[in-house]
Amino acid sequence: MLPRIHFILSLFLAIILFYFFPIIGIFGAVIIFISGFLIDVDHYIFYVFAEKDFNLKKAYNWFLIRGKEMRKLPIEERIKHKNEILFLHGIEPLILLLFLSLIWLPFIFILIGFSFHLVLDVYDELRVGRKMDKISIIWDIIKYKKLKKLDFLK
């Protein structure tokens, strides 16, 4: 899902939660909003390591092209190729945030934003017929060892 969609939907979520649960306060709503789209920083970090380049605009375009090329492949072929390993996209960061929220309550707002983002990603993957990724980082690492890299950009 494109970052602008995450941005807009996270903003709506934060406003709705603040309206129905004003106890979260402006601070909580802002944290939910920000964490709902900034979780995607791991995409940029993946790009930096994969391409040895820090250009944010190139990173964005790189992911757009990868997504477009992957969607061109038949579904049977898509499942033979790796996606990127995203260290914030999975159940493991959510579990960590849950434990951290027991220590300091504001982590619960980050957990809500991350969870919302991941639900949107899963919906988007199902909608466009991609294989299910971003559920578990550990599972993705194990699974990707057996898959081919999509090398259309090199």
pLDDT tens for the chain, 154 residues long, are: 889 999 999 999 999 999 999 999 999 999 999 999 999 999 999 999 989 999 999 999 998 998 888 778 887 777 666 667 788 999 999 999 999 999 999 999 999 999 999 999 988 888 876 666 667 878 777 766 655 554 544 4
Q: At what angle do helices 91-103 and 107-128 cross, to 10 degrees?
A: 160
Separation CA 126–CA 108 (nearest Å): 27
CB 35 within 8 A of CB 109: yes
Q: What is the pTM of this model?
A: 0.86
121 burial level (CB within 10 Å; 0-12, 13-18, 19+) = buried
Residue 89's alpha-carbon distances to 43, 115, 116, 119, in angstroms, are: 10, 9, 11, 10
Question: What pLDDT is stored for residue 149 in this prediction?
Answer: 56
Question: What pLDDT is stored for residue 152 in this prediction?
Answer: 47
CB 10 within 8 A of CB 36: yes
Separation CA 110–CA 30 (nearest Å): 10
Separation CA 84–CA 81 (nearest Å): 10
